[in-house]
Amino acid sequence: MERWTKNILIGFSTIILISGCGNTVNDSNITEEETIPHPDWISQDSEIQKASLSKIVIPGAHDAGMGKITGCSTYAAPIVTQTQDKTFAEMLNYGIRYFDIRAIIDKENNLRIGHFQWIGEEIYLKTFIDDALDVLSHIIGKFLTDEIKKELEKTSFYNDAIGLRNEGCYGYSIDDLLNDVNTFMENSHNEIVILDFSHFMNFKKYDIEDSHFDDEDVKRLADTIDQKIGNYLIKENIDLLDTPIETLTENGSKVIVIFSDSSYGANYEGIYHTSTMNIYNQYSNTSDLNKMESDQFQKSIEYSEDRYFLLSWTLTMNKDEIIGCMLEQYVDDIKLPSYFGYSKKLKYLIKEEINKTPFQCKSIRDLATIANDHISDIPNDPSKGEPNIIFFDFILGEMTQKAIDINKNRVH
């Protein structure tokens, strides 16, 4: 095992490529409850209207802009980046009221939403290829396998490192988000929506480990938000958490925009720093359901009384699963000569060798299937904590229904 560890795990102790999880739904298994939209669940409940945000729970979408993949870096793919499968308009109509938005300026200077992480490491596939060739030799014979190896040794696929930098994928654009929110605001009454912008990266100016927004970039994003949905921002000096929702929305539906970037100085009207909301948002960083539940439930008990608490119902790919998915994707995508008709078989065997190591690919969707199948585990018991946001991937109608059921116990 040390052979591939030496070649592949160069510096990978700090890898957190893409965190999150997701799930898609098999249409044959969709229940009626899952398909019922909840576009006006806040405005239609008089008790929720009388309550404040600090007293109720709302469903949230993790990495909300990744409902459609519109481009990826060299080595990333949807399997490790896609966390949703709906548009913002669909999620709003499903009742989602908190959106996690990762704002990115791409190399062409477009303002987009993405799911990226700096890796800054190198991966070598040579050992996996050699092991695959050894297996192949028992199928087609040593002579032919040696001929294939001679040809492979001339390729970058065999010899060169895979250099990982800022890896990830793009989803919807910022304009897509704001246009959908604007339309929803125009057609709703007394609803409240929170947009949480974070993980700012500018790949045109700063395609480096510390990619970030400078003041000019922050202004560009703030101006875009104001131009698109400025009429719906809460710009008054008001307590966002403890003011009754009916007061916040007395002039119609409203949007609370927060920038969860440490450098933001809250210097744009109607755009708040995350500290204004006193949000506690610490995910469990595990792909194990039991560990995630234990971690989030304990944190809810400890912090939900004094903080605006986000319960993260997400399972996170660990570094081995991320590496495995990336390696398999790279092997699938590489174009090899026919190698006497054995190119496809060779790729299969290389992936088989990868799967003999801890690098067994579990996609975001795989993990979310597990989490989303256990939504009923989320307690509706104040003694076990009272979260204000429950964070999900691959939104389903039952997630809003869960929040509605919890609120019936809290404010009715």
Residues forming a β-bridge with 114: 170
Question: Confidence class of residue 3 from pLDDT cuts 50, 70 and 90?
Answer: very low
Q: What is the pLDDT of residues 237-266, one digit of tens each?
A: 899 999 999 999 999 999 999 999 877 888
For residue 17, is pLDDT > 50? no
Question: Residue 35 has what pLDDT?
Answer: 55
123/91 Cα distance (integer angstroms): 38
Of 312, 322, 319, 325, the C-alpha closest to 393 is 312
Give Cα 182 to chain centroid, integer Å: 23
Residues forming a β-bridge with 115: 169
pLDDT top residue among 59 and 362:
59
Q: What is the pLDDT of residues 101-112, one digit of tens each?
A: 999 999 999 999
Angle at which helix 126-140 crosses helix 343-354, to 10 degrees, equals: 120
Domains of the chain, each with CATH number or no CATH: 2-15+43-124+161-317+362-411 (3.20.20.190)
Question: Residue 151 has what pLDDT?
Answer: 93
SS3 237: coil
Kindly state the average pLDDT of the residues 19-29: 36
Q: Is the whole model's pTM more than 0.85, yes or no?
A: yes
Which residue type sits at 87?
T
For residue 4, is pLDDT > 80? no
Question: Confidence class of residue 377 from pLDDT cuts 50, 70 and 90?
Answer: very high
Tokens 């669940």, located at residue? 41
Which residue type sits at 338?
S
Q: What is the pLDDT of residues 140-193, one digit of tens each?
A: 999 999 999 999 999 999 999 988 899 999 999 999 999 999 999 999 999 999
Kindly state the average pLDDT of the residues 328-345: 90
% of the chain with per-residue pLDDT over 70: 91
SS3 77: coil
Of 358, 409, 404, 399, the C-alpha closest to 376 is 399
24/397 Cα distance (integer angstroms): 13
pLDDT top residue among 412 and 194:
194
Q: What is the pLDDT of residues 384-394, one digit of tens each?
A: 999 999 999 99
394/163 Cα distance (integer angstroms): 31
Taking all residues of the chain, what is their mean pLDDT, rounded to a whole number? 90
- The sign of the CA dihedral 309, 315, 320, 325 is negative
Question: Residue 349 has what pLDDT?
Answer: 97
Which residue type sits at 191?
E
Question: Confidence class of residue 285 from pLDDT cuts 50, 70 and 90?
Answer: very high
Kindly state the average pLDDT of the residues 123-139: 95
| DSSP percent split of the chain into helix, strand, coil, nearest 5 | 40, 20, 40
307/299 Cα distance (integer angstroms): 11
Q: What is the pLDDT of residues 291-333, one digit of tens each?
A: 999 999 999 999 999 999 999 999 998 877 888 888 899 999 9
Tokens 């519109």, located at residue? 70
170/176 Cα distance (integer angstroms): 13
Determine contact, residues 61/98, Cβ cutoff 8 Å: yes
Angle at which helix 364-372 crosses helix 289-303, to 10 degrees, equals: 60
Q: What is the pLDDT of residues 263-275, one digit of tens each?
A: 788 889 999 999 9
For residue 12, is pLDDT > 50? no
Question: Residue 26 has what pLDDT?
Answer: 38
